[in-house]
């Protein structure tokens, strides 16, 4: 699949929600743990060799599952192939917790559901649609029916 790699690389240079050096192990059997600078930008997780400016790779975080593994370790897998896991080793439980929380928020689909939820709640309290001010109240992607998807 073709994709705009240059723009994705540029994205990896943007301010990050979270960035830290973690131990990372790929999903292939026999993968070795490597030190990587891991950086969360919008719904992408970039990983760099610790002394390089260009990322080794990126993970799009849609339809992913973040699972606690051993203490201080979590994994990311994808809904269509849950056994194929990317492992991340943190330096502390607290750091592990923070990353897992941050990754939960790092998907467009999660954001969309949050928006629909807040919109609905505000409407219940105030009787007004808060999206009208943005001019996006009619957009199909923000309708309540999206929650059932």
Partner 1 sequence: MAPGSPPGLAIAAMKLNERSLAFYATCDAPVDNAGFLYKKGGRHAAYHRRWFVLRGNMLFYFEDAASREPVGVIILEGCTVELVEAAEEFAFAVRFVGTRARTYVLAAESQAAMEGWVKALSRASFDYLRLVVRELEQQLAAVRGAGGPALPLPLPQPQALPQSQPLSPTPALAPPLPHWPSALPPKENGCAVWSTEATLRPGSEPPPPPPRRRASAPHGPLDLAPFARLHECYGQEIRVLRGQWLSSRVQP
Q: Which of 24, 25, 36, 58 lies at the binding interface for partner 1 (CB under 8 A)?
A: 58
Q: Which of 22, 25, 55, 88 lies at the binding interface for partner 1 (CB under 8 A)?
A: 55
Q: Which stretch binds partner 1 (CB under 8 A): 28-36, 67-75, 106-114?
A: 106-114
Which residues, other chains included, contact 83 with Cβ-Cβ below 8 Å and sequence gap of 6+? Answer: 77
Q: Does 83 bind partner 1 (CB under 8 A)?
A: no
Residue 69 or 138 having the CB closest to partner 1: 138
Residue 15 or 71 having the CB closest to partner 1: 15
DSSP 65-113: EEEE-STTEEEEEETTEEEEEEEEE-SSHHHHHHHHHHHHT--HHHHHH
Scan residues 115-144 and list those touching partner 1 (CB under 8 A).
Answer: 115, 117-119, 121-122, 125-126, 128, 130-136, 139-141
77 to each of 58, 96, 103, 144, how far by Cα in Å? 13, 16, 12, 28
Least distance (Å) from partner 1 to the CB of residue 91?
12
15 to each of 18, 30, 42, how far by Cα in Å? 9, 33, 10
Token pair listed for 100: 């897992």
Scan residues 5-44 and list those touching partner 1 (CB under 8 A).
Answer: 5-11, 13-20, 37, 39, 42-43
Least distance (Å) from partner 1 to the CB of residue 19?
4
CB atoms within 10 A of CB 137: 13
């Amino acid at each position: 699949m073709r994709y705009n790699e240059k723009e994705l690389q540029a994205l990896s240079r943007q301010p990050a929600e979270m960035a830290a050096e973690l131990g990372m192990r790929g999903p292939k059997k026999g993968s070795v743990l490597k030190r990587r600078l891991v950086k969360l930008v919008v719904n992408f997780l970039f990983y760099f060799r610790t002394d390089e400016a260009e990322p080794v790779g990126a993970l799009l975080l849609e339809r992913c599952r973040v699972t606690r593994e051993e203490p201080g370790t979590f994994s990311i897998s994808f809904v269509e192939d849950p056994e194929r896991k990317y492992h991340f080793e943190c330096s502390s439980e607290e750091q592990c917790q923070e990353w897992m929380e941050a990754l939960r928020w790092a998907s467009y689909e999660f954001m969309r559901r949050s928006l629909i939820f807040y919109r609905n709640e505000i409407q219940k309290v105030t009787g007004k649609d808060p999206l009208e001010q943005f001019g996006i109240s009619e957009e199909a992607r923000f309708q309540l029916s999206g929650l059932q998807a």
